[in-house]
Structure 1
Amino acid sequence: MGAELRQLHVVFFPFLAYGHMIPTLDIARLFASRGVRTTIVTTPVNAQTFLKSILNMPKLRPSITLEVFPFPAKDAGLPDGVENLEQAVSLDMFGQFIEATERLRHPLELLLESCHPDCFVADMFLPWATDAAAKFNIPRLIFHGTGFFSLCVSDVLRLYEPHLTPFSDDEPFSLPYLPHEVILTRMQLPPEYRESGETDSTRLFNRVKESEDKSYGVIVNSFYELESAYADYYKKVLGRRAWHIGPVSLCNGNMEEKTQRGKEAAVDEHTCLEWLNSNKANSVVYICFGSTVKFSAAQLHEIASALDASGQRFVWVVGGCSDNGIEHHQWMPQGFGKRTAGKVLIIKGWAPQVLILGHEAVGAFVTHCGWNSILEGVSAGVPMVTWPVFAEQFFNEKLVTEVLAIGLPVGAKKWTETASGSAIVNREAIEKAVKRILEGEEAKEMRNRVKQLKEMAWRAVEKGGSSYSDLSVLIEELSSYHLLRSK
């Protein structure tokens, strides 16, 4: 069996956005650590992100290769040089970006035909990948980039349409048949549920679902103990084939691996650690809204005012302002820097998030509820203040705040394609949530719960753990599929 496993070859094609590329690299690394040959399809600009990390894996480097395709940005109406979603001027370009990735189908099929891998793992935003793989009798696995809970919520919305019952967008409705009561409003739903008729969003959503129905199954970056009721519901009630193999970020063990994930960090890791080391345990709040969220100057001003008033200590990752041309000094409260000197570490750009969250000084995490961030928070044992903006983030918030009870909502109410289009969350609400997450009996209980989940997460990826074992099952199944196909 060992020799046969080493002969397996899996090709990965992530969606070209950091929130999808980073976990895909981690997944490829997990496969490579089990003796599977892996190939990652990417483009010239994005190749640098992968190469930087692969160079820090000397033992696995021979098992992970890159296949680089030119990205047809101009052919799809995008500015020349745009190769990942974060480079796009606005999220309005999402449709063009999807079109550009679809233009990679031909070179991708040539690759599949020439190397004929044993499996093709492609992102959900590449729905055409299922048919491309089927042409060569290659099983296609889907990577959604989210967890079982949000996958179940999405399917229940699609199957039973409970969101069509309310008379208004802000009227609460309950989702039927789920293991827990989940209440949402239409304002919190992605556009494919809110829009009537056929739109670009609904067309893509329908293609993704059709592609999933025809695929071999789904790889989920989660662990069974985190959302066991929803893993069971997804597999047994909804009838989906899925394997949980996460948290995949835990494959990054040393400092170099943690700091080299994603883009070049905007802060030196030693400077960052030196500042964190000067603080007491559980005393620092880490604030980060991912790689694509850019708030308006008015919202950034409210955040800064809340930090100023709270008296707490913060690491604040400021990814940029949606109001073009507005600099930091124009939205920061007057005297902010002087009053918060030594209390607030501001990182303007990319941050080594796994490294920061794992430091004992960090006691809370203000997050946009992206799935990678939630898993990284759980894996570090850090309770969360939830501030969803778009994608499936409002679903993830429900898991964190209500099902797991390891976080508190800041009060965001409306799904929006751009953070600048959302209603302003005022400084009082931000300050209140931050204090609640750090102080009192409620905070202590949340911290205890998330610490227990942290222990479960680490055990899940160890040999014999739930995620380790599920990956073993998947690899063995792919090996059997390969043997049957080769006869």
Structure 2
Amino acid sequence: MADKKLHIVMFPWLTFGHILPYLELAKLIAQKGHLISFVSTPRNIDRLPKLPPNLASHLQLIKLPLPKLHNLPDNAEATTDVPYNLVSLLKKAYDALEPPLTSFLESSNPDWIFYDFAPYWVGPLASNLGIKTVFFSIFTAPAMGFLGSPSDLMGTDGIRKRSEDFLVPPPWVPFPTTVGLRYFEIMRLSDNLSDDNDSGVSDTYRYGAAIQNCDIVAVRSCSEFEPEWIQVLENIYLKPVLPVGQLPSTTYDDDDEKKNDTWRWMKDWLDQQRKGTVVYVAFGSETKPSQEDVREIALGLEKSGLPFFWVLRIQRGPYDENVLQLPDGFEDRIRGRVVVCTSWVPQLKILGHESVGGFLTHSGGTSVVEAIQNEKPLVLLTFLADQGLNARVLEEKKMGYSIPRDERDGSFTSESVAESLRLVMVDEEGRIYREKIKEVKDLFVNKERQDRYVNDLLAYLRDYKSTKLGDGDC
């Protein structure tokens, strides 16, 4: 079975913070000669980065049209296209992909399907078709371990009843750690705990059911970095948990003239700045700060005295009526030492430029890995989902520094923004953050290690399949 080529379907949730790590893993597997069917909606497929030509015969992009729903805007196929209040409606449309996905699986007969937390219904569906399943989580092992077992997530056997219970590590974590949520982060997560939304299913239930109904759990992690957390997952899931490496971002330089022109003027500006002085500011494709947040961030950047390149998400899609504004007079006062960009940017290239000396980030997994790839120290400002848990790990390991905030409402001041940036990028006191990010780089972007994780994953999938065939299960 060692030479058997597998056919694997990948089905990520409609968020580019999920789609892109799935695509990185898909590319790594396709490079080994296996067939990948990467399934998403037409507009999302069209927005993917261009694939290297050598993968064309091994990585096929499958478009499943998203069902139309009343009140869901036309062309809204990813969370980046809609305001926060319509994301649950997008999940409802996504759930309606079950019939066309079933038809595709029946006709293509894959060996495995890798699926995300949102399509919690894939496990039973695939099992009925004799297809083995991997729940592939783009969340970190500490975040997954903190959230608990499937029964905890699905609400059938949860021992944490109060908000205060989430401020501290859970009892199933047997080692000292600071990983926990802050009060304002718990409040912002409350919508995920309720099934009172347009889809009728809470995010935590989806997550728990996705884990419960899979054959194997795969996690974006490596055992050299957080072995104790991977062990926690095996203890609470009671099934195989396979780290697949950190999946550092790769790019294929194509001949997209518009994107090349965009990078050209950005590079020209970065080239004019002194080495290690520019703050890169970006909060991912999902995060839209509040107007008050934008004001304090802007004034803090101004007070820091540092040049900065800010990718500012002013609205979530064309139907978001709440468009963010910069403070009055801000752009005039800082003219010449700043770029504020409200559209697509080549983040990996920007982080790789020698003038960039630090990254003000939301702590999203892909952004953190890309910062480590380029040895850029991290200043952390969390907003959504698992970001707070990611930030605790980075703080604990001295890989990032969180901007001080009010514990109850999450507010922060421009002074704290400025002081945090100067601490991490300039001050002697913050040298530990600049050095630690370099120390851990090899754990995140070592090609030989990443290749070994993919080989181990594929060997496990082949052995699992052959063992089950031998047992007469298929």
Give TM-score, length-normalised by structure 1: 0.85
1:226, distance to aligned residue in structure 2 (A): 2.8
1:449, distance to aligned residue in structure 2 (A): 0.8
1:236, distance to aligned residue in structure 2 (A): 4.6
> 1:471 corresponds to which residue?
454
> 1:418 corresponds to which residue?
none
Cα distance in 2 between the residues matched to 1:114 and 1:196: 36
Letter of the 1:348 partner, please give it.
T
> 2:59 corresponds to which residue?
64
2:416 pairs with 1:429: yes
Which structure carries more helix by proportion?
1
> 1:73 corresponds to which residue?
68
Relative distance call for 1:439 and 1:161 in structure 2 (3 A) is: farther
> What residue ranges of structure 1 are gaps of 5+ in the alignment?
416-421
| Cα offsets for 1:150-175 (capped at 9, x unmatched) | 011111775774562849x9xx5454
Relative distance call for 1:481 and 1:229 in structure 2 (3 A) is: closer
Cα distance in 1 between the residues matched to 2:260 and 2:419: 29
> 1:133 corresponds to which residue?
126
SS in 2 for 1:282: coil
Give TM-score, length-normalised by structure 2: 0.87
Cα distance in 1 between the residues matched to 2:140 and 2:192: 24
Q: Aligned runs of 1:301-380 on 2, under 5 Å?
A: 301-321=295-315, 324=321, 326=323, 328=325, 331-334=326-329, 336-380=330-374
User: Which of 88, 91, 104 is residue 95 of structure 1 equivalent to?
Assistant: 88
Judge which range, 158-167 or 285-294, deviates more.
Answer: 158-167
2:434 pairs with 1:438: no
1:24, distance to aligned residue in structure 2 (A): 1.2
1:196, distance to aligned residue in structure 2 (A): 8.5
> 1:144 corresponds to which residue?
137
> 2:24 corresponds to which residue?
26
2:117 pairs with 1:84: no
Judge which range, 357-366 or 123-132, deviates more.
Answer: 357-366
Judge which range, 228-237 or 135-144, deviates more.
Answer: 228-237
User: Which of 432, 443, 459 is residue 456 of structure 1 equivalent to?
Assistant: 443
Cα distance in 1 between the residues matched to 2:304 and 2:25: 39
Judge which range, 367-376 or 266-275, deviates more.
Answer: 266-275
1:103, distance to aligned residue in structure 2 (A): 0.6
User: Which of 112, 116, 124 is residue 123 of structure 1 equivalent to?
Assistant: 116
1:479, distance to aligned residue in structure 2 (A): 1.8
1:43, distance to aligned residue in structure 2 (A): 1.4
1:469, distance to aligned residue in structure 2 (A): 2.1
On the 8 A contact 1:297/1:321 being kept in 2, the answer is no
> 1:188 corresponds to which residue?
185
1:79, distance to aligned residue in structure 2 (A): 2.0
1:312, distance to aligned residue in structure 2 (A): 0.4
On the 8 A contact 1:118/1:478 being kept in 2, the answer is no
Letter of the 1:208 partner, please give it.
Y
Cα distance in 1 between the residues matched to 2:191 and 2:53: 48
Cα distance in 2 between the residues matched to 1:123 and 1:393: 18
| Cα offsets for 1:413-444 (capped at 9, x unmatched) | 579xxxxxx65422111111111111223321
Cα distance in 2 between the residues matched to 1:196 and 1:284: 39
On the 8 A contact 2:189/2:385 being kept in 1, the answer is no
Relative distance call for 1:396 and 1:265 in structure 2 (3 A) is: farther
Letter of the 1:187 partner, please give it.
F
Give the aligned CA root-mean-square deviation in angstroms: 2.9
Count how many residue pairs are aligned between Structure 1 and Structure 2.
Answer: 457
Cα distance in 1 between the residues matched to 2:324 and 2:214: 47
| Cα offsets for 1:8-27 (capped at 9, x unmatched) | 10001111111111111111
| Cα offsets for 1:303-349 (capped at 9, x unmatched) | 22222222101111011158836574xx3341x33432332122212
> What residue ranges of structure 2 are gaps of 5+ in the alignment?
none
Bigger relative CO (Cα 8 Å, ≥ 6 apart): 2
Relative distance call for 1:17 and 1:184 in structure 2 (3 A) is: closer
Relative distance call for 1:22 and 1:440 in structure 2 (3 A) is: same
SS in 1 for 2:417: helix
Cα distance in 2 between the residues matched to 1:405 and 1:134: 43
On the 8 A contact 1:379/1:457 being kept in 2, the answer is yes
Letter of the 2:66 partner, please give it.
F
SS in 1 for 2:47: helix
1:225, distance to aligned residue in structure 2 (A): 2.8
2:104 pairs with 1:107: no
User: Which of 6, 18, 34 is residue 8 of structure 1 equivalent to?
Assistant: 6
Letter of the 2:176 partner, please give it.
H
Cα distance in 2 between the residues matched to 1:197 and 1:319: 27
